[in-house]
């Protein structure tokens, strides 16, 4: 995806790459910082409460991002038993990641109001960074482990669904990977197509155009 975009529009590709780096770094740093503030210093001691990209970017995840258009950062280590707030502690830490991506979209919307960011390459950067972070916000809230959406929703499910939760925690990563692969190998079939359908309304809600 990235390489194809780079061959067609290098400027836009660099802006998209910037959006992913900023989004992934702040996403993981938000997990680490929120956990630290809630009493778990595991990520802090691992050097994850930082905006240094080297601390959050995963080599394989970055390569997959460049080659296939999807990737990941290093998982932030969190020990729920150390968090304050009972059930809401882990939920708050999980939601902090997607929330950081939404805040980036809001910052891009504020920059878009300034004349220098309404044309030229600055416009491309603002729109690309906003688009990528809107994508990260929506995608990470899908309730399939290990995505944050599962950690936000599963704690509130009734006990009668414990077997379902256990099943998803065990097989969720496989299911997620399978759905992603299907989106690439079966023409016209995209299980995650609804994600892209949500990005444009989200950007429009913030007054941002969608040119990707």
- Contacts (Cβ under 8 Å, ≥6 apart) of 140: 27, 97, 98, 101, 147, 148, 149
181 and 191 Cβ atoms separated by less than 8 Å: no
Structure confidence at residue 9 (pLDDT): 77
Q: Please choose, from the candidates 126, 137, 129, the residue with its C-alpha nearest in 3D space to the C-alpha of residue 99.
A: 137
* pTM of structure: 0.92
| Mean pLDDT over each residue of the chain, to the nearest integer | 90
Structure confidence at residue 69 (pLDDT): 61
Structure tokens at 66: 């460049």
Residue 56 Cα distances to 3, 122, 192, angstroms: 22, 26, 25
Structure confidence at residue 212 (pLDDT): 67
Catalytic, 79? Answer: no
Overall average pLDDT of the 112-137 stretch: 95
DSSP the chain: -HHHHHHH-HHHHHHHHHHHHHHHHHHHHHHHHHHHHTT--HHHHTT-SS--HHHHB-HHHHHHHHHHS---BPPPP--GGG-SSTTHHHHHHHHHHHHHHHHHHHHHHHHHTSGGGGSHHHHHHHHHHHHHHHHHHHHHTSSSTTSHHHHHHGGGS-GGGHHHHHHHHHHHHHHHHHHHHHHHHSTT--TTHHHHHHHHHHHHHTT-----
27 and 100 Cβ atoms separated by less than 8 Å: yes
Catalytic residue among 12, 17, 24, 28: 28
Structure confidence at residue 183 (pLDDT): 74
Of 103 and 176, more confident: 103
User: In the structure, what pLDDT confidence band is assigned to residue 4 with cuts at 50, 70 and 90?
Assistant: low
For the chain, domain boundaries: 2-205
Tell me how far apart the 2 most distant CA atoms of the chain are, in Å.
Answer: 55
Structure confidence at residue 187 (pLDDT): 65
CA dihedral 76, 78, 83, 85 (to 10 degrees): 60
- Contacts (Cβ under 8 Å, ≥6 apart) of 201: none
Structure confidence at residue 2 (pLDDT): 59
């Amino acid at each position: 995806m990235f390489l194809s975009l780079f061959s067609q529009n290098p400027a836009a590709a660099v802006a998209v790459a910037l959006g992913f780096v900023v989004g992934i770094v702040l996403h993981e740093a938000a997990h680490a910082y929120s956990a630290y503030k809630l009493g778990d210093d595991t990520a802090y001691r691992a050097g994850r409460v930082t905006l240094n990209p080297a601390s959050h970017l995963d080599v394989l995840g970055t390569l997959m991002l460049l080659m296939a258009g999807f990737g990941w950062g290093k998982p932030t280590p969190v020990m729920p038993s150390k968090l304050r707030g009972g059930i809401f502690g882990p939920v708050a830490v999980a939601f902090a990641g997607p929330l950081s991506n939404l805040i980036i979209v809001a910052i891009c919307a504020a920059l878009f109001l300034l004349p220098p960011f309404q044309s030229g390459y600055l416009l491309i950067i603002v729109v690309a960074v906003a688009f990528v972070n809107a994508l990260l916000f929506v995608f990470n809230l899908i309730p399939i482990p290990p995505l944050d959406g599962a950690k936000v929703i599963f704690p509130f499910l009734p006990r009668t669904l414990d077997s379902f939760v256990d099943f998803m925690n065990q097989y969720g990563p496989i299911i997620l990977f399978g759905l992603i692969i299907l989106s690439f190998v079966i023409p016209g079939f995209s299980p995650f197509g609804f994600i892209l359908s949500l990005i444009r309304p989200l950007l429009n809600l913030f007054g941002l155009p969608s040119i990707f």
